[in-house]
Amino acid sequence: MTKTTGREPLRAHRSGPRGGLGQVAGEGPRRPWPLVLAALLLLVLAVPGALLVAPGFIGPDAPQPKPAPPAWQQAPATLSAPQVLAPLQASAPVPLQAAVTAQVEPALKVDGGGTFTGTVQDALTGQVLFDRGGAESRVPASNLKLLTAVAALRTLGPDHRFTTKVVPGTAAGQVVLVGGGDVLLAAGESQPEQVMGHAGLATLAALTAQALQAAGITGDIKVLVDDSLFTGPALNPNWQSGDVEAGEIAPLYPLALNSARLNPAVTTGPRPQDAAMAAAAEFEARLRAAGAGAGLTVAAGVERSPGASQPNTAALAAVESATVAEQVNLMLQVSDNYLAETMGRMAAVATGRPGSNEGATAVVSAELAAAGIPTDALKLADVCGLAMGNQVSARQFTEVVRAIAIGADTRLRAALDGFPVGGLSGTLDARYGDAATSGGAGLVRAKTGTLNTVLALSGYVVDADGRLLVFSFIGNGLTPGAAGNKEALDRAATALAGCGCR
């Protein structure tokens, strides 16, 4: 038998001539060359495989240390000092009247027809630093909203909220949606972090369905709406029909969706002409959806029922608006006419006056006088500034701004955030971008006013020496569309921002 030892078997004789594949007698065993080559090939192939398999047995290489991040990405060793404006100092120099006039006068130049009046005052002392017809009564456009802000903050208070509630009706199966002055309602869920849409009708409907279910009420439900908080004409006869048709304003009611807009993101064009019924119809649809699983069937069609809610009736459900301070700031930032008119009427109601245009104009005038602001020759036809019959002077506006900024009534400070910032926010976000006005970007804070032949700008600025100045510039009889007039207002305010006028 041939014994194998892991190698080719040994032969006892030669199988061929010398040099063949056999062995020569007396020589040791020899590997055949093909086998040697095969072994070498296997070795060549085995080395890369071993390199691939080895990490599984010996583990990966130790990770290389990461380079340290640059200094600006590392945690600071100490906290930086707050980057804020230093407090205003009463010792900051007051600009000289002649120097301020020399800066503002050439900037306030009319483009085309019409005239500009204006006043600049030192906020702390009230000293007049510039005066061009500052006592003349002028059509102020939306600058009038500053007066409405003062009245709302004084009568309602910055922290007040308006309540939209649902109460039982006088007949079985009735619920009454009661308007309480919130015209910024959302159709969907309440959004507590927002001003527009802070209270939502979907949330109110869900709460109402829960209350009805808890009371054991099932079956048919009829929705009524009580919007009797406002009285008098819903449309001010002083408003021009073209402005109403263009959507600058709409009939006033004490509840509305999106400040009487079909879409909160679209602030131009047609508006609901019955904002209360539009809101009530939305509530009805939301209640129908919320009550479907609670055995409630909501009848189609909302009915208006003034006074259907009893004053002392406990509410089934309620939602609250954003604060008056938050709403005032929104009103000033975007110049919301509907919200301004609502604020005026709610201020009137808070002081026992009727919730009408007459009540609104009366309370604004009265609160200005009570705040120590001169009301001589003041005439108000509305409280949003859309009417051409309004008459206010630049000097009256600077006194209003002074009262807001440094006056004794600290409730008015809540309006400071509402002033648009030049080049950054609100109705000034697209201004102060050219070479002549960029020096006022981020510094000028002012309420704008725009009508066809009217432009106005009233606000405040800290000058180059750290002095707080208040100003008001009003143009009347201007050439419609003349581009240079807005720039004139902005140039004048920019001159104040850069003023080291001593």
The H or E element that residue 399 is part of is helix 394-406
Does the pLDDT value for residue 490 go beyond 60? Answer: yes
In total, how many domains does the chain have? 2
Out of 306, 328, 350, a domain closes at 328
Give tens-digit pLDDT for 253-281: 999 999 999 999 898 899 999 999 999 99
- The verdict on whether 486 is a catalytic residue reads no
Angle at 468 between CA 467 and CA 473, to 5 degrees: 125
In a domain, 188, yes or no: yes
Closest CA to 458 of 405, 388, 500: 405
Residue with tokens 């079909």: 262
- The verdict on whether 142 is a catalytic residue reads yes
Chain centre distance of CA 407: 27
Other CB atoms within 10 Å distance of the CB of residue 492: 26
Please tell me whether residues 213 and 243 are part of one structural domain.
yes
Give tens-digit pLDDT for 386-407: 999 999 999 999 999 999 999 9
The H or E element that residue 462 is part of is strand 454-462
In a domain, 427, yes or no: yes
Closest CA to 419 of 431, 407, 401, 403: 401
- What is the C-alpha to C-alpha distance for residues 52 and 36, in angstroms, rounded to an integer? 25
Instruction: List CB contacts of 158: < 8 A, sequence separation 6 or more.
Output: 323, 324, 325, 328, 411, 414
Does the pLDDT value for residue 338 go beyond 60? Answer: yes
Does the pLDDT value for residue 301 go beyond 70? Answer: yes
* Pairing label, strands 317-323, 161-168: antiparallel
More confident residue, 58 or 254: 254
Position 57 scores a pLDDT of 47
Does the pLDDT value for residue 133 go beyond 90? Answer: yes
**Cα-based distances in Å from 50 to 16, 38, 42, 57, 63:** 41, 18, 12, 10, 21
pLDDT grade for 26, boundaries at 50, 70 and 90: very low
Residue tagged active-site, from 137, 190, 321, 335: 335
Domain CATH for 108: 3.40.710.10
Out of 278, 295, 328, a domain closes at 328
360-389 b/e (C-beta count within 10 Å ≥ 16 → b): bbbbbbbbbeebebebeebebbbbbbbbbe
Please tell me whether residues 235 and 201 are part of one structural domain.
yes
Domain CATH for 303: 3.50.80.20
Residue tagged active-site, from 137, 145, 309, 393: 145
Cβ burial of 343 (10 Å; 0-12, 13-18, 19+) is: buried
Instruction: List CB contacts of 15: < 8 A, sequence separation 6 or more.
Output: 21, 22
In a domain, 153, yes or no: no
What is the DSSP secondary structure assignment for residue 353, as one 8-state letter? Answer: -
Please tell me whether residues 176 and 292 are part of one structural domain.
yes
Q: What percent of the chain has pLDDT over 90?
A: 76
Please tell me whether residues 136 and 170 are part of one structural domain.
no
Please tell me whether residues 307 and 177 are part of one structural domain.
yes
- What is the C-alpha to C-alpha distance for residues 311 and 180, in angstroms, rounded to an integer? 12
Please tell me whether residues 246 and 192 are part of one structural domain.
yes
pLDDT grade for 294, boundaries at 50, 70 and 90: confident
- What is the C-alpha to C-alpha distance for residues 338 and 438, in angstroms, rounded to an integer? 32
- The verdict on whether 438 is a catalytic residue reads no
The helix/strand/coil state of 400 is: helix
Angle at 285 between CA 282 and CA 290, to 5 degrees: 120
Instruction: List CB contacts of 234: < 8 A, sequence separation 6 or more.
Output: 251, 252, 253
In a domain, 62, yes or no: no
pLDDT grade for 7, boundaries at 50, 70 and 90: very low
Position 82 scores a pLDDT of 52
Residue 175 in contact with residue 316, Cβ under 8 Å?
yes
Position 90 scores a pLDDT of 84
More confident residue, 17 or 70: 70
Out of 299, 328, 357, a domain closes at 328
Residue tagged active-site, from 137, 142, 309, 356: 142
Both tokens assigned to 429? 């976000």
Q: What percent of the chain has pLDDT over 70?
A: 82
Residue 496 in contact with residue 469, Cβ under 8 Å?
yes
Please tell me whether residues 398 and 295 are part of one structural domain.
no
Please tell me whether residues 415 and 283 are part of one structural domain.
no
In a domain, 54, yes or no: no
- What is the C-alpha to C-alpha distance for residues 436 and 425, in angstroms, rounded to an integer? 19
- For residue 480, report the phi and psi dihedrals to the nearest 5 degrees: -55, 130
Please tell me whether residues 395 and 297 are part of one structural domain.
no
Please tell me whether residues 112 and 198 are part of one structural domain.
no
In a domain, 76, yes or no: no
**Sign of the CA dihedral running 233, 447, 185, 263:** positive
Does the pLDDT value for residue 160 go beyond 70? Answer: yes
Q: What is the 3-state secondary structure (H, E, C) of 6-60?
A: CCCCCCCCCCCCCCCCCCCCCCCCCCCHHHHHHHHHHHHHHHHHHHHHHHHHHCC
Closest CA to 223 of 178, 188, 255, 157: 178
In a domain, 224, yes or no: yes
Please tell me whether residues 166 and 271 are part of one structural domain.
yes
Give tens-digit pLDDT for 163-214: 999 999 988 899 999 999 999 999 999 999 999 999 999 999 999 999 999 9
In a domain, 79, yes or no: no
Closest CA to 181 of 5, 342, 414: 342
Please tell me whether residues 259 and 125 are part of one structural domain.
no
Q: Which domain holds residue 216?
A: 161-328
Mean pLDDT (the chain) is 88
Low-confidence winner among 4-13, 41-50, 328-337 (lowest mean pLDDT): 4-13
